[in-house]
Structure 1
Amino acid sequence: MSKYLLNKFLYTVDRDAELTERYREDPAALVAWWESELAGKLLNSIDAEQTTWLRLTDAEREALVAHDQVALFEMGAHPFLTLTLWIAMFERDFDEPLGMQLDYAAKLAHVELPYPAIDT
């Protein structure tokens, strides 16, 4: 498992409105595209230098495709990264103020200290 790669996915998708919408609409396609096109370039500044060892695990990929913030949190994804991305993708689906944030918190209410490590 690469918490770095998992968090890098969340970070890069959240910072690009087009990627955020693609992730909301077709998560499987976006995850596959991101992994094949961007993951191997993350540590390199030029296209000629790419790596093939950076791959999401099956569990990470499945959680990303399912938009499963609980599983992502349990794998060590940074909660601020998932929260900000989830706000961008799902806040519009809730009628009440802070509805998405309250739903997000309720889904993680079972988690007790110590939280999973979020360092990379």
Structure 2
Amino acid sequence: MSRYLLNKFLFTVDRDAALVERYREQPRETVGWWEAEHANRLLNCVDAERSTWLAFDDAEREALANHDYPALFAMGAHPFLTLTLFIAMFERDHAEPLGFQKEYARRLAHFSLPYPDIAT
């Protein structure tokens, strides 16, 4: 498991409106594409600079493909990164103000201190 890679996915997808929509509509395909094309690209570097070993494990891939942010939180994905990305994807589906944020809090309410480690 790589918290770094989970957080990198959340961070990079959240910063591109087209990727946010692609991930919302085609999550499994987007995760597979991102893993193949971007997982080993170094942040803030030219494309020629790449690593070769980063990949999601099956549990991470499934959680991302299912938009399962409670599972991602349990795996140590940073809560700020999950919250901001999933707000961008799902706030529009809630009629009440802060509707998605309330849903996020409800679905994570079963966690108690100490929270999963989010250090990368």
Question: TM bucket by the smaller chain?
Answer: over 0.9
TM-score (norm 2): 0.95
Structural RMSD (CA):
1.2
Residue in 2 that maps onto 1:93: 93
Distance 2:48 2:12 in 1: 21
Which piece of structure 1 moves more, 49-58 or 107-116?
49-58
8 Å CA contact 1:73–1:116 kept in 2: the answer is yes
**In the alignment, structure 1 residue 65 sits paired with structure 2 residue 65:** yes
1:24-59 C-alpha deviation (Å, 9 max, x unpaired):
000011101110001111268233343221001110
Structure 1 residues 43 and 17, CA, compared in 2 at 3 Å: closer, same or farther?
closer
Alignment of structure 1 residues 3-18 onto 2, 5 Å: 3-18=3-18
Distance 1:42 1:58 in 2: 22
| Percent of aligned positions that are identical | 69
Alignment of structure 1 residues 30-41 onto 2, 5 Å: 30-41=30-41
Alignment of structure 1 residues 24-35 onto 2, 5 Å: 24-35=24-35
